[in-house]
Amino acid sequence: MRNRLSTGVMAVICLAVYWAGSFSVAAENQTVTARNGSVGDTANGQVNAGGWDSSFDDHVVDVPPTKIQIWSKIFNPPQNWAFKPFNQMVQGQKSLYADVVPGEASGYPLWVQANAAAVQVNRVFDATAVNAGVFPMHVEGNLKPPPGGGGPQDFYWAVRVGTVQIADASNHVLVDSQTTIVGKKIVLKGIVAAAGKVVTAHKWTIGGTRIKGYTQTMQTGEQTELQTDDLNKDNVTFYWIAGAPATSRVEVEYEATIDGTIYSDTVQYEVKRPTATLTSQLTSLTPRIDLRDGFLLLGVAEPFFEGIIWSASVTTTEGGAGQIAFTQLVNTLRHRTLDDASSTKEKWTSGGTYVLDGAEMGIQYGGTTNIGDAATESISKADSPGIPLAGNKKVSMDDKFRVYLMYKPNGEDSIWVTLRLLDWADAGAATKTNETWVLDAGQSSSTGQSSDSNVLPGWEKEVNGLGWVADN
Amino acid sequence: MKMSIFVIIICLVMAACLCASAETKEQPDAWGPETQGCRFSATSDRASYRFDQSIRLCLTLKNENNELAVVRQSHVFLAYRFDVRLPNGTPAPLTLEGKRQMDASSAGGSMFGITLKRGQSHIDEVPMLNRLYDMTMIGEYTVTVRRQVSIPRVLKPGEERKPAVPFDVVSNTLKIVVHDQDVKKSNQQKP
């Protein structure tokens, strides 16, 4: 309200410029539906129709560099039909072809240009006003059917525009296609302009691969899904974890049930995602798994000889600055026979599930690397898993590892999302005979091609929390 | 859960220190003997602690060799060998958490190398040494730590590259006094 005067002045300027033809508004054409009956014979600024087509969305065009926006909508009759003029016009309505009821945001200028083939309704408003974009409007009129239709019959059309709209966390109405990045927190609100009406239900339909949240601690990596309750409120918070090229454009729809009628708004999102490569290389040592430095070891933790090296390159999109890192899970089964009188046998197992391999390395294996906007960064980490020989007569390891190349965009409450996935494995055993350790036959190690993935790493334990148990 | 938190703290500190493999701004005063150009230091944030306070140990390995030095990052009990001695000179026993950690280390696990150029240091912190070793007895403890280091060979033309043989670098012997001043005051109030 405080800017109403300046808004009005700017609106008039915009209108003048618009009418002078300095720029054009890319109005959205939509075809109305013919209904049986009529809406009276007078353009009187009142709603006369008994039924409404509420599937019409508003269309707003920015007018840079000002914050003035022009809303414009063109209605067309069905093919070969024509709009039928009213016989009378009251309350200063400018059109004989359409009866326009402005709705709540009537403080902003509105004008109508119409003929038998098109009705264009325009409004100028100041985008800084919180509710400027909320201008439910009813437009109704009568229709003339194509010639030769079998005698006189009354038809009308009636639409309702902009009753509900989608806004962001700052209450800015989202009117154009939006752009976001995987892992960024999305907060949307449904705004209903229906003073005095009762909203009995809300419903969000969100396209793409989206989740409610994802948290990481040493003990758990947990993804939560959006539940029905989350989608049936007037606001929703979520994250997209997949983006281009798989689902580059997704749609969010908000529906509000007002006095028993469903009204909706949709917003298109382009979800961007960094591109990435991930390769791996096993140690050049032969054999790869051997008895080294008091361990049964894949490679050795030294440059050129690491058990495996993962190398990744990540390229972000504009606005995609953040962090990249590896997270590794392991499905492990290790056995040992203690060098004691009873040759105690024990095993250390994750029970066939993947657990975080993070005690020594952190959840983000060996740390994170910053990456800028529209930038490319390379990271490389290594692992030389092994089991100590000391105190044992026999040891074995059978590990299946899963490496996630992950990315987290900057921004409050952003989450880590997966870019690529790599599986690799090792297995080997050694036995002490006459105080001499010997590598058992059958050791193996393997790594494959990485794959594009949006699967988030989930775990319920950290590998060092497993503990040795009796191996019966 | 507390044990888990402690593990997390150790890991976080160790992980954070992975990024600190650069020349340190403040070098420790006390170092162990130089071994193949590498020196190792064990320091604590204070000289004395009340028995229920956390004893924070800072471990710094510095490479003064002309060649690259490699230290292996893994479980704290695999990366380091601690010799913690009670005031009477005997080895301090492990706490229950220390035993659990030692047990975990015997399962091995992931390991990777950290390369230090000449003049670079690598720092790890053990935020609560007395969570691993029983240091509840009053008196002066000694702490000596060993860490394995390897120095990859500089290859001659045609020479085949082979893994280096690791060697131990020993820290200075750190003295830590554990006291019970507040306990004495409390006892004096009892009848």
pLDDT digits (tens, 9 = 90+) for B12-24: 344 444 434 444 4
> What is the average per-residue pLDDT within A123-136?
50
Q: Worst-scoring range by mean pLDDT, A352-361, A395-404, B77-86, B145-154?
A: A352-361
Which of A300, A358, A391 is the closest to B163 by Cβ? A300
A469–B contact, CB cutoff 8 A: no
Residues A181 and A247 in one domain: yes
Interatomic CA distance for residues A264 and A256, integer angstroms: 6
Interatomic CA distance for residues A385 and A307, integer angstroms: 7
Interatomic CA distance for residues A35 and A24, integer angstroms: 32
A468–B contact, CB cutoff 8 A: yes
The conformational region for residue A457 under phi > 0 = left, psi -120 to 50 = alpha, else beta, is: beta
Q: Please answer yes or no on whether A384 and B150 come within 8 Å at the CB atom.
A: no
pLDDT at residue number A462? 93
Residues A421 and A317 in one domain: yes
Residue A18 scores a pLDDT above 80? no
Residues A118 and A47 in one domain: yes
User: Cβ contacts (< 8 Å) between B112 and chain A: which residues?
Assistant: 301, 306, 361, 366, 381-384
What amino acid is encoded at A466 in this protein?
L
Residues A260 and A279 in one domain: no
The pLDDT > 90 percentage for chain A reads 54
More confident residue, A56 or A428: A428
> What is the average per-residue pLDDT within A160-176?
76
Q: Where are the domains of chain B?
A: 2-23+31-179
Residues A142 and A245 in one domain: no
pLDDT at residue number B159? 83
In angstroms, the first-to-last Cα distance of chain A is 79
pLDDT (tens digit, 9 = 90+) per residue, A353-371?
A: 999 997 677 899 989 999 9
Highest mean pLDDT among A43-52, A189-198, B132-141: B132-141
> What is the average per-residue pLDDT within A196-210?
89
Q: Do strands A436-439 and A444-447 pair parallel, antiparallel, or not at all (unpaired)?
A: unpaired
Confidence band for A175, pLDDT divided at 50, 70 and 90: low
Q: Please answer yes or no on whether B7 and A359 come within 8 Å at the CB atom.
A: yes
Q: What φ, ψ does residue B163 adopt, rounded to 5°?
A: -60, 145
Provide the number of CB pairs (under 8 Å) joining chain A to chain B: 127
Q: Which residues pair with A299 in a beta bridge?
A: A306
User: Cβ contacts (< 8 Å) between A462 and chain B: which residues?
Assistant: 4, 7
> What is the average per-residue pLDDT within A366-393?
96
Longest dimension (CA), chain A: 112
Residues A330 and A254 in one domain: no
User: Cβ contacts (< 8 Å) between A382 and chain B: which residues?
Assistant: 112-113
Residues A94 and A158 in one domain: yes
**Closest residue on chain B to A358 (Cα):** B11
ipTM above 0.85, yes or no: no
Domain count, chain A: 3
pLDDT (tens digit, 9 = 90+) per residue, B24-65?
A: 446 788 999 999 999 999 999 999 999 999 999 999 999 998
Place of tokens 């306070």: B53
CA B91 to chain centre: 16
| CA-based nearest distance A284→chain B, Å | 10
Q: Encoding tokens for residue B132?
A: 């691993």
Which of B8, B103, B113 is the closest to A306 by Cβ? B113
| CA-based nearest distance A428→chain B, Å | 13
pLDDT at residue number A113? 80
Q: Please answer yes or no on whether B104 and A383 come within 8 Å at the CB atom.
A: no
Quick one: B2-23+31-179 is in which CATH superfamily? Immunoglobulins (2.60.40.10)
> What is the average per-residue pLDDT within B124-129?
94
Domain edge (last residue) among A162, A179, A195: A162
User: Cβ contacts (< 8 Å) between A358 and chain B: which residues?
Assistant: 11
Which of A306, A462, A463 is the closest to B112 by Cβ? A306
Q: Please answer yes or no on whether A382 and B73 come within 8 Å at the CB atom.
A: no
Residues A198 and A228 in one domain: yes
Residues A369 and A417 in one domain: yes
Q: Please answer yes or no on whether A302 and B150 come within 8 Å at the CB atom.
A: yes
A92–B contact, CB cutoff 8 A: no
User: Cβ contacts (< 8 Å) between B7 and chain A: which residues?
Assistant: 218, 359, 462, 464-465
- Chain B residues within 8 A (CB-CB) of chain A? 4, 7-8, 11-12, 14-16, 18-19, 68, 70, 72-76, 78-79, 100-101, 103-113, 115, 148, 150, 152, 161, 163-164, 166
User: Cβ contacts (< 8 Å) between B146 and chain A: which residues?
Assistant: none
Q: Is the pTM of this model over 0.80?
A: no
Of the residues B18, B112, B165, the best mutation for testing chain A's interface (the one with the most A CB atoms within 10 Å of its CB) is B112
Confidence band for A101, pLDDT divided at 50, 70 and 90: confident
CATH number at A222 reads: 2.60.40.10
pLDDT at residue number A158? 78
**Closest residue on chain B to A461 (Cα):** B4
* DSSP state for residue A58 in the 8-state scheme: P
pLDDT at residue number A51? 56
CA A418 to chain centre: 14
More confident residue, B152 or A184: A184
Residues A206 and A318 in one domain: no
| CA-based nearest distance A386→chain B, Å | 5
Residue A308 scores a pLDDT above 80? yes
Q: Which domain holds residue A74?
A: 4-162
H-assigned helices in chain B: 2-18, 76-79, 96-105, 129-132, 181-189
**Closest residue on chain B to A466 (Cα):** B104
Q: Please answer yes or no on whether A357 and B110 come within 8 Å at the CB atom.
A: yes
User: Cβ contacts (< 8 Å) between A220 and chain B: which residues?
Assistant: none
Q: Worst-scoring range by mean pLDDT, A3-17, A74-88, A204-218, A401-415?
A: A3-17
Q: What φ, ψ does residue A219 adopt, rounded to 5°?
A: -90, -30
Q: Please answer yes or no on whether A218 and B11 come within 8 Å at the CB atom.
A: yes
Residues A222 and A290 in one domain: no
Mean per-residue pLDDT of chain B: 84
Of the residues A360, A381, A466, the best mutation for testing chain B's interface (the one with the most B CB atoms within 10 Å of its CB) is A360
Mean per-residue pLDDT of chain A: 83
| CA-based nearest distance B114→chain A, Å | 8
**Closest residue on chain B to A387 (Cα):** B108
pLDDT (tens digit, 9 = 90+) per residue, A38-78?
A: 887 766 666 666 555 544 444 444 444 555 556 677 889 99
| CA-based nearest distance A467→chain B, Å | 6
> What is the average per-residue pLDDT within A127-148?
65
Q: Please answer yes or no on whether B110 and A384 come within 8 Å at the CB atom.
A: yes
Place of tokens 């004893």: B55
Which of A285, A300, A359 is the closest to B11 by Cβ? A359
Residue A270 scores a pLDDT above 90? yes
Residues A266 and A289 in one domain: no
Interatomic CA distance for residues A246 and A297, integer angstroms: 40
Place of tokens 């250390």: A348
